[in-house]
Amino acid sequence: MMVMNYGMTLRMKVLHELSELKETDHRFSLTFDEWTSSSNRRYLDINVHTYANDRVLFWNLGLTRVFGSMPATVCVEILRKKLKEFDLDLDIDIVAITTDAVSIMVKTGTLIPAFQQLCYAHGLQLGILDVIYKKNKHESIQQGQIDFPLENPEAETNKDGDRSNITDDDRFIVFGDTTRIDI
């Protein structure tokens, strides 16, 4: 019971801070993401951000349980409902959102009038995971590697076009659609 009372006190504090900022015509941005717990329960976490009094301010509005599937329209409705609990309007008070680049979140951004910024960290993570966990494509074509001389701007040519000063250190190897420079 004590934890619930403390949680309600914090909720009232956040509501009061947000309403004070709204009265001074502040606008807010959101970051939100879907999360699945280890017990396979799905939630939507919503954070509110603003800049006031030369400080960046943010509040976590908490996790909202997601039941069933969550297409973009359901995501927008969950956002509207949660923001309404804190006296915020998605169409008026929110000027920007940041989400990951999952197709549902991209579609959600098209349904909201606020500007959407996709998270670069998520794109970077997907790229890294793609490199780490994809099978190495050029393992099977090691036999067919092609060896090219690396264009060396310091290499001099004689009248016959001979480039005798190109060494084995000035070469690169092409593996299919990827290139590796040997240094």
Q: What is the DSSP string of 54-90?
A: TEEEEEEEEEEEE-S---HHHHHHHHHHHHHHTT--T
53 and 91 share a domain? yes
158 and 98 share a domain? no
With a cut of 50, say whether residue 2 has pLDDT above it. Answer: yes
Query: Do the beta carbons of residue 84 and residue 64 sit within 8 Å?
Result: no
The pLDDT score that the predictor gives to residue 172 is: 45
Q: Please calculate the CA angle 138-140-146 and round it to the nearest 5 degrees.
A: 60
Q: Is 4 exposed, middle or buried (0-12, 13-18, 19+ CB in 10 A)?
A: exposed
109 and 141 share a domain? no
* Digit-coded pLDDT (tens) for 27-65: 999 999 999 999 999 999 999 999 998 999 999 999 999
107 and 177 share a domain? no
121 and 141 share a domain? no
d(CA 86, CA 19): 8
89 and 163 share a domain? no
The pLDDT score that the predictor gives to residue 145 is: 53
Q: Read off the pTM.
A: 0.66
Other CB atoms closer than 10 Å to residue 29's CB: what's the count? 19
58 and 75 share a domain? yes
91 and 21 share a domain? yes
- φ/ψ region of 62 (left if φ > 0, alpha if ψ in -120 to 50, else beta) reads left
Domain interval for residue 74: 2-133
72 and 110 share a domain? yes
124 and 41 share a domain? yes
Domains of the chain: total: 2
The pLDDT score that the predictor gives to residue 127 is: 84
d(CA 92, CA 114): 9
50 and 116 share a domain? yes
Q: Any idea how long the chain is?
A: 183
